[in-house]
Amino acid sequence: MLKALNVSLEVDGPGDSEENATLHLLREVTFNVPPAHLMAIVGPSGCGKSTLLKVITGILEQTDGELHWDGRDLSNEEDLHPGDLGYAPQFSVAYDLLTVEESIASAMALRTQLAQTEDFIPSLDYILEVTGLTHLSDRLVKVLSGGQKRRLGLALELVTDPCLLLCDEVTSGLDPKSEHEITNLLRVLSRGHPKRVVINVTHSLASLDAYDSVMVMYQGVLTFHGPPKAMMHYFAVEHPEDVYLKLTERKKEDWRESWAKYRETYYKRHGFDGPRILLEDEQKGGPSKTTVREERNTAGVDMTSVPEHHEFPPIEMPSMITQLFELLKRRWTIFRRDSAQVWLHLAMLFGFPLLVVIFALDGIKPLRALSTHHDENVKVEMESQARFQQEQLKAGGLVSGLVMLQVVLVTLMASNNAAREIASERLILEREKLGGLHPFAYVGSKVFFLGVFVLAQSLWMGFFVDLVVGGLPGDLITRLVLLLLASAAMTSVCLGISATSRSPEKSTILCIYLVGFQLPLSGAVLTLPDWLENWVQPLVAAFWGWSGSLSSMRSTAFYDAVKQVTSTDLVGPGLAAFVLFVHVIIGLAMSFVGVQKSQWDS
């Protein structure tokens, strides 16, 4: 049984006055929900329906009151085990490019150890059958209708056979037929476990007869909880739609006090204070026990068509390593099926290096040494020195430009890879965290996935450019390592931005700005003022990749040529590599902190 006792939730208000200092999102909400029960939470927009659901799940923590489940005080003890709780939000928590079966199988692998047992296929088949998705198992999520996606959302929550299933607006926005079907499915699921409680937040009052009870919220207070027919009597209305209008006739405190006065009477009359609601035949002295498959409710749901309940084995959470590899497998599957992304990555992988070598198709000509012979003709001597100076400037500018262009382009690719990686799937991540997903497993899967692009893009850039131009001066391995670290640094930082951003659009804009400022702030084109340089350079990955690569040419004649075209102090390859590695660590730390932080309201 689920019980709430004076559950309240307060947040700081927008104003400084005492009246606006505190907002009461929930005010002393008290109710009982017996097992094998389907309950609807209804009420006008902003009345606290979804807020109450999030308090029950543990997403939000009440500021006062108690929540009890099966005799446990959730306020003082640990929250429900992830396997005991199912939460189906109103948004889709499935990836468009996975099939229905793949989506459910992935959820099972992330939340249970069934994937390694012989119970995996029977459990999967049962979930598909009970939710009516068997004939759609091979269909991609993106082609499902609204009602089918809601069924899939419920199927994803059944992988742990939860005893508490909470649904937030899973029937909203559907046509009447689909809404009726989903409501009937919820009733079936409420009878699929001897202790299961199913709660659905809904705006619609069209299918209330299918629910065992209805809870009416108004401005954060509970105004009624009882069977649908009793609701009509309590509010003295003829149609359910008239309840909302009736609520406006009294203040919320009056409604709360009225319900507190009559609550016990209604609970005793309808059996809400016992272990379960008595069925009609039990109340009339009929059989003391009615099986699920024999029940036909007042909404016309024929329970004989429901498949035999599949007995799930005890649910145990998979290891972090298992979750990591499942996430990685799922991410590669999604990437392979996204043809637009595949072609974009191939275009950047091969197109950007071509863009670099366009500026050095003639190759890099060896620098001749300045002649030690001084011509007696002053004019000839001056012309010779001028030609040498011009050759040095040209060669230095070419080498410096090629190195910087490589660094900037790999950071641009890195930004494209990581900017939306977490932000675009944030809501799915939040649901999977609630189901027991380990943040280290999630971030680790992103590191391995993006690491492939970092290696391919940076190493191919360095090898291809070096091959076409006939070899840049200095040590190739050093330049490749610095190019690799520059790409990894930008990837890591952009991943961190993605993890902390509230939307993929915001993350993309911030990452674009970050890459856009790499060139002007690197010092490769214009030198920053001394007082600003020391503050900015540590933050600019392009500076360290470019500067370290040029410093690796100290033993060549080109180093002096490069110094002729830049007044920025160059740092050694070792220091550059260390700073870029620090960027990687900072970005990963940002990613982990951002993933851990809850963003349900984003």
- Same structural domain for residues 269 and 341? no
- Same structural domain for residues 452 and 507? yes
Q: Please say whether the beta carbons of 18 and 221 come within 8 A.
A: no
Average pLDDT, stretch 393-407? 81
Predicted confidence at residue 359, as pLDDT, reads 83
Q: What percent of the chain is predicted at pLDDT more than 70?
A: 85
- Same structural domain for residues 195 and 288? yes
Whether the pLDDT of residue 300 is over 60: the answer is: no
Helix (H) or strand (E) holding 10: strand 2-12
Q: Which of 133-137, 445-449, 531-535 has the lowest mean pLDDT?
A: 531-535
- 301 domain-assigned: yes
- Same structural domain for residues 263 and 349? no
- 601 domain-assigned: no
Predicted confidence at residue 70, as pLDDT, reads 81
- Same structural domain for residues 344 and 296? no
Check residues 348 and 69 and name the one with the higher pLDDT.
348
Check residues 469 and 245 and name the one with the higher pLDDT.
245
Average pLDDT, stretch 228-247? 90
- 14 domain-assigned: yes
> What pLDDT digit, counting tens, does each position of 91-100 carry?
888 999 999 9
578-581 long-range CB contacts below 8 Å, 24 or more apart? Answer: 579/538, 579/544, 580/482, 580/485, 580/486, 580/488, 580/489, 580/541, 580/544, 580/545, 581/485, 581/489
Check residues 287 and 102 and name the one with the higher pLDDT.
102
Predicted confidence at residue 297, as pLDDT, reads 46
Predicted confidence at residue 269, as pLDDT, reads 85
- Same structural domain for residues 290 and 376? no
Check residues 135 and 78 and name the one with the higher pLDDT.
135
Choosing from 262, 279, 305, the residue where a domain stops is 305
- 602 domain-assigned: no
Check residues 283 and 172 and name the one with the higher pLDDT.
172
Whether the pLDDT of residue 248 is over 70: the answer is: yes
Predicted confidence at residue 535, as pLDDT, reads 82
- 538 domain-assigned: yes
> CATH number of the domain that 91 lies in?
3.40.50.300
- Same structural domain for residues 388 and 280? no
- 383 domain-assigned: yes
Predicted confidence at residue 602, as pLDDT, reads 43
Choosing from 305, 332, 357, the residue where a domain stops is 305
Q: Please say whether the beta carbons of 326 and 94 come within 8 A.
A: no
Check residues 528 and 138 and name the one with the higher pLDDT.
138
Q: Which pLDDT band, with edges at 50, 70 and 90, does 388 fall under?
A: low
- Same structural domain for residues 244 and 287? yes
Check residues 562 and 447 and name the one with the higher pLDDT.
447
Q: Which pLDDT band, with edges at 50, 70 and 90, does 287 fall under?
A: very low
Average pLDDT, stretch 297-325? 74
Whether the pLDDT of residue 233 is over 70: the answer is: yes
Predicted confidence at residue 378, as pLDDT, reads 59
Whether the pLDDT of residue 303 is over 80: the answer is: no
In whole angstroms, what is the distance from residue 113 CA to residue 226 CA? 39
Predicted confidence at residue 288, as pLDDT, reads 38
Per-residue H/E/C for 536-550 = HHHHCHHHHHHHHHH
- 312 domain-assigned: no
Q: Which pLDDT band, with edges at 50, 70 and 90, does 299 fall under?
A: very low
> What pLDDT digit, counting tens, does each position of 429-448 carry?
999 999 999 999 999 999 99
Give the domain extent around 432: 320-596
- 311 domain-assigned: no
- Same structural domain for residues 176 and 299? yes
Whether the pLDDT of residue 372 is over 60: the answer is: no
Average pLDDT, stretch 519-546? 80
Choosing from 244, 279, 305, the residue where a domain stops is 305
- Same structural domain for residues 298 and 324? no
- Same structural domain for residues 339 and 381? yes
Predicted confidence at residue 392, as pLDDT, reads 61
Q: Which of 11-15, 114-118, 454-458, 545-549 has the lowest mean pLDDT?
A: 11-15
Q: Which of 275-279, 348-352, 594-598 has the lowest mean pLDDT?
A: 275-279
Whether the pLDDT of residue 376 is over 70: the answer is: no
Average pLDDT, stretch 69-92? 81
Closest CA to 279 of 452, 34, 487: 34
Q: How many helices, marked H, and strands, marked E, lie in the chain?
A: 22, 10
Predicted confidence at residue 285, as pLDDT, reads 40
Q: What percent of the chain is predicted at pLDDT more than 90?
A: 56
Q: Which pLDDT band, with edges at 50, 70 and 90, does 412 fall under?
A: very high
Predicted confidence at residue 251, as pLDDT, reads 93
Check residues 527 and 180 and name the one with the higher pLDDT.
180
Q: Which two tokens stand for residue 255?
A: 């409604």
- Same structural domain for residues 289 and 391? no
Average pLDDT, stretch 399-407? 88
In whole angstroms, what is the distance from residue 88 CA to residue 168 CA? 6
Q: How high is the mean pLDDT of the chain?
A: 85
Torsion sign over Cα 27, 31, 35, 39: negative
Determine phi and psi for 300, rounding to 5 degrees.
85, 20
Helix (H) or strand (E) holding 481: helix 476-500
Per-residue H/E/C for 557-598 = CHHHHHHHHCCCCCCCHHHHHHHHHHHHHHHHHHHHHHHHCC
Q: Is 82 left (phi over 0), alpha (psi -120 to 50) or beta?
A: alpha
Q: What one-letter code names the amino acid at 56?
A: I
Predicted confidence at residue 555, as pLDDT, reads 80
Q: Which pLDDT band, with edges at 50, 70 and 90, does 20 fall under?
A: low
Number of domains in the chain: 2
Q: Which pLDDT band, with edges at 50, 70 and 90, does 385 fall under?
A: low
